[in-house]
A and B are shown apart, each in its own frame.
Chain A
């Protein structure tokens, strides 16, 4: 299991664990944090699973693909470390990842 920290919108930090191969979005949803709407279920078709990566490898701080990049543009809160959590697939290199859930657009 991979250990992560998820900060909810009230600033509270939640220590959670995820399975390698699952997405960060699924992992957050499973951990009972209900601030992620994740409406399209992870098919990169909406932008309702937006997070800011606060600590983690540099590769994970930038969008993985053009679609994700374009979708993030629909958020009023896009920042340099914005990601769609459905596009982050967990593996060992992400141990210790810290993300903040973005405000609702």
Chain B
């Protein structure tokens, strides 16, 4: 195929959802999905959870079975990357040098794990957790007898990996450079709670931990050298320090963007007929007071995919889906609704010591987000408060005896 009506770049959650949504909305033209991984679209969240824990095999992670794509005439070019875009000629060039014309382009390329910039970052045994290949490699080392793990970064990926590795019998040291884990995505109360929980499960969790480099021998990691000169021995290292958006070909083609590629409320970039969705799409988010942000979540990838597909099918519907997110660690089920960035008040609801509580975030008196730990009821009922930007007195929110449902209006 040298041309497709729609070329989708990226075969992750966003790309898969876009292809499915195009067909659901009646799009009849040709669709080609180009993905750099060899696999059909699969769910990424289990990579740091059930897949690493071997509770689910890979087949169970597939977003749709192979015949689904065939029957809906979604062509797949897997194991190839798009390296450049000519937005005038409407052609993408692939890593295998082939050129493919497009009528419209949906850029759903996601992100690359941020790498350590220090010495030793390339040693064998230093892992990211982003793709199936990353995790397969990690699991092979565990099978080979690796038992001492160092996790660099206390974000969700790092914390989830630490939880699974602990369960698998590894000794785990988690190094977070900032003063608390989850600093980028949650308030201090939630950070403290997860720090306590991980330590209780035996994780040697260190905040404010400044590292110097990765130590190794014969090209293989042996430990992590800290700024004070001490060395934390390691058989394997997991680096979970965020992602950088994969947007270079688009920016080189002239699309506006800096951290990611800029899109409007219909997921359109500044290039004609070029859309961007998911982790790499910087957009003015109505749940972040209009701030231009990237949201790295399945929800965002999926809902943006629908937005782009509807626009292409002539049913413009602006993107304003409510953000939600989840994370599972040990027996703790975190569910988040809204975005807590920019909150000026965080209200604790329930008792962290009882492992069931919520943190309600407010900005200028309005509820903007809720982090719920083992408290699905608050998650479900609180969604309406976030959607409405409800103004509720903090002392009322803190009263766990009153259901959030009774705080509307």
Q: Is the CB of B376 within 8 A of A30?
A: no
Say yes or no: is A66 at the interface (Cβ < 8 Å to chain B). Answer: yes
* B contacts with A: majority SS: helix
Q: Is the CB of A32 within 8 A of B71?
A: yes
Q: Is the CB of B328 within 8 A of A43?
A: yes
Tell me whether A67 and B333 are in contact in the complex, defined as CB-CB below 8 angstroms, given that A39-B298, A46-B324 are known contacts: yes
Q: Is the CB of A40 within 8 A of B68?
A: no
Given the complex of chains A and B, what is the CA–CA distance between A30 and B59 in angstroms?
A: 10
Q: Which residues of B contact A39 (CB under 8 A)?
A: 298-299, 302
Interface members, chain A 6-52 (any B CB < 8 Å): 22, 26, 29-30, 32, 34, 37, 39-41, 43-46
Say yes or no: is A91 at the interface (Cβ < 8 Å to chain B). Answer: no
How far apart are B336's CB and chain A's nearest CB, in angstroms? 10
Q: Which residues of A contact B376 (CB under 8 A)?
A: 44, 66-67, 70-71
Can you name 15 extra interface pairs (CB under 8 A) apart from A41-B298, A46-B326? Answer: A22-B60, A29-B64, A34-B24, A34-B64, A37-B302, A39-B298, A39-B299, A40-B298, A43-B326, A43-B333, A45-B333, A66-B377, A70-B377, A71-B376, A71-B380
List 27 A-B residue pairs with CB atoms under 8 Å apart, sorted by A's residue number: A30-B65, A32-B64, A32-B67, A34-B24, A34-B64, A34-B68, A37-B302, A39-B298, A39-B299, A39-B302, A40-B298, A41-B43, A41-B46, A41-B298, A43-B328, A44-B333, A45-B326, A45-B333, A66-B376, A66-B377, A67-B333, A67-B376, A70-B379, A73-B377, A73-B380, A73-B381, A74-B383
Q: List chain B positions with a Cβ less than 8 A from chain A.
A: 20, 24, 43, 45-46, 49, 60-61, 64-65, 67-68, 71, 298-299, 302, 324, 326, 328, 333, 335, 376-377, 379-381, 383
Q: List chain A positions with a Cβ less than 8 A from chain B.
A: 22, 26, 29-30, 32, 34, 37, 39-41, 43-46, 66-67, 70-71, 73-74
